[in-house]
Structure 1
Amino acid sequence: MTGAGPLGPWLRRYQARPAAAVRLVCFPHAGGGAGSYRPWDTLLPSSVELVAVQYPGREDRFAEPPVAEMDELAGQVAGALRRVLDRPYLVFGHSMGSAIAYETVQRLRRLGVAEPDALIVSGRPAPGEVTGGEVHLRDDTGLCDELTRLGGTPAEVLADPQLRRAVLRYVRSDYRLIETYRPAPAPPLSCPVSVLRGGDDPELSAAQAAGWSRVTTGSLDVHTFPGDHFYLVPQRQAVVRTVLGTLDPALTRTGGSWAGIP
């Protein structure tokens, strides 16, 4: 199944797996959409169903205004997810998606939903360790320079005036959201937290990755991959294997290897 379908505007499920034992909920980075996780779907075993969050203002929600504040965004996503979390689940977020994933889990807990089996974050320090930022205040050239620095945005998109204008509209809003985000005090989670990072990522050092221990009373582990901020694109198979490794291997292991991954 593709598109919004019965999951509503906030969630995308590219392949329904009714018998799946676990749901994997994925949150995109600033400027990203649910489609960035579509390639993951073919790497997952039948026991894991992928659900990707779709922020407004991009892809099939392009005509909608982006959400400007974290409270509203996380609240809307939590309300949508609450209706589909009828089995154990994992949460994964990259970069800005890490902060939104954390805030969404906190809101789900306040709604009486059990915590995920694991919170898996990538490419961003823990909430409260990054405050402020001025990227969203830059002109279009400055914003493009930041996207080029981090990678992940095709050069041909930034070179085309119409495409660039369209992309920068929601990218600027995303940067405003994450740069003005100030986490409210909240009790620590109890679920395990895994932190993924690129070894050359300027946005997350190994020391900063360890700071995620402050958001949970559960265990913390850190995984470093070759690459920069968008290491998870060339390292997709290794990343998905690591994400699946947070589960009970009995749920996902087939014939001695992760399904679809050598």
Structure 2
Amino acid sequence: MSTTPSDDLWIRRFRPSPDAADRLVCFPHAGGSASFYVPVATALSPGVDVLAIQYPGRQDRRSEPGPTSIAELADGVTAALAGWDDRPLTFFGHSMGALVAFETARRMERAGSGPVRLFASGRRAPSRTRDEHVHTLDDDGVVAELRALAGTDAQVLQDEELLRMVLPAIRGDYRAVETYRCEPGARVRCPVTVLTGDADPRTTVEEARAWSGHTDAGCDLRVFSGGHFFLSERPAEVLAVLTEHFAASCATTGRA
């Protein structure tokens, strides 16, 4: 029976699959938590061991300060993933999570490891910036943004006490992503698959396609019907893309 390392702070395994051939590391969006990926872990188990990243400042980490930068998050995740690369890793990040996954991949590659593929979902390319300042708005302004994107649990938005509790972490997430600037020429060595919604108000198809300039190994683009959280609207279609990837990975390496 295989053994795995432990990092209870950053990593959640909702459906542990220690004998799986591949691992998928999932990075949440701004204001999101590891539990967003429970359906993914359920759908892919036991063939894929799904690790969901838990950022500080939310749920069971709510007593910790929220993030201040994408670099800080990437440093924390990189350290947490040490020892988990005994089998092929695939990264999947949505929105802010795509940037954290990208920067984590760069750090791991510099150390001699890294993912076999990066799925960048719902986020324009790292070099494509917009003048956004959600993190400077008052609480009502931040809540209005969350409602507009429709990615936050409706129960949270309706529970005033819970909402006020999580707003500092959400604001920190927005600060991290809105102040992020990638290094000129920043690239990963692994291939990138970009997923985007055709009606996403935060990412145009052209901005999503620009991820091709951030990889040395090829980039493909999948456009789905929907807005910023198309993956919640089209879960079966997104899972089909992941299943296709893992099936190809097994076929390439000759694994069952």
- Fold conserved (TM > 0.5)? yes
| Amino acid across the alignment from 2:199 | D
Aligned to 2:254: none
Could you tell me whether the CA contact under 8 Å between 1:125 and 1:209 is conserved in 2?
A: yes
Aligned residue-pair number: 247
Q: Distance in 2 between matches of 1:10 and 1:186?
A: 29
**Corresponding position of 2:22:** 22
Distance (Å, rounded) in 1 between the aligned partners of 2:247 and 2:84: 21
The match for 1:213 is: 212
Task: Check the 8 A contact 2:93/2:100 in 1, yes or no.
Answer: yes
Distance 1:118 1:76 in 2: 20
Task: Give a deviation string over 1:9-30, Cα, whole Å, max 9, x none.
Answer: 1111112212111000000000
Residues 70, 100 of structure 1: 8 Å contact kept: yes
Per the alignment, residue 10 of structure 1 pairs with 10
2:195 alignment partner in structure 1: 196
Classify 1:85/1:186 alpha carbon distance in 2 versus 1 (closer, same or farther; 3 Å): farther
Q: 2-side partners of 1:156 and 1:250: how far apart?
A: 38
Greater shift, 23-32 or 121-130, is seen at: 121-130
Aligned match of 2:102: 102
1:107-141 CA-partner distances (Å, limit 9, x unpaired): 1112221x312100111111121154211000011
Write out the 4+ residue segments of structure 1 that deviate beyond 4 Å after TM superposition: none
Partner SS, residue 25 of structure 2 = strand
Match of 1:173 in 2: 172
Q: CA deviation at 1:144?
A: 1.1
Separation in 2, partners of 1:250, 1:128: 29
Q: Which runs of 5+ in 2 are unaligned?
A: 252-256
Does the 8 Å contact 2:142/2:171 carry over to 1? yes
CA distance in 1, matches of 2:147, 2:117: 32
2:181 corresponds to: 182
Partner-residue secondary structure (3-state), 1:77: helix
1:259 is aligned to: none
Q: Which residue of 2 aligns with 1:247?
A: 246
> 1:136 maps to what in 2?
135
Please give the secondary structure, in 1, of the residue aligned with 2:200. Answer: coil
TM superposition shift of 1:156: 4.2
Distance 1:135 1:95 in 2: 15
% identity of equivalent residues = 43
Q: Deviations over 1:47-86 (max 9, x none)?
A: 2110011001111111111121222211111011122111
SS of match in other structure, 1:85: coil
Aligned position for 1:85: 85
Higher helix share: 2
Q: Is it true that 1:157 corresponds to 2:141 in the alignment? A: no
Q: TM-score, normalised by structure 1?
A: 0.89
Q: Is the 8 A contact 1:131 1:182 kept in 2?
A: no
C-alpha distance in 1, partners of 2:248/2:71? 35
* C-alpha RMSD over aligned residues: 1.8
Q: Distance in 2 between matches of 1:47 and 1:158?
A: 35
Counterparts of residues 217-236 of structure 1 (less than 5 Å)? 217-236=216-235
Q: Give the TM-score taking structure 2 as reference length.
A: 0.91
Which residue identity does 1:66 align to in structure 2? G
SS at match of 1:142: helix
Q: Deviations over 1:203-229 (max 9, x none)?
A: 111111110001112121111122111
Query: Is the partner of 1:82 in helix, strand or coil?
Result: coil
Partners of 1:132 and 1:181 within 8 A in 2: no
Residue 162 of structure 1 aligns to a residue whose secondary structure is: helix
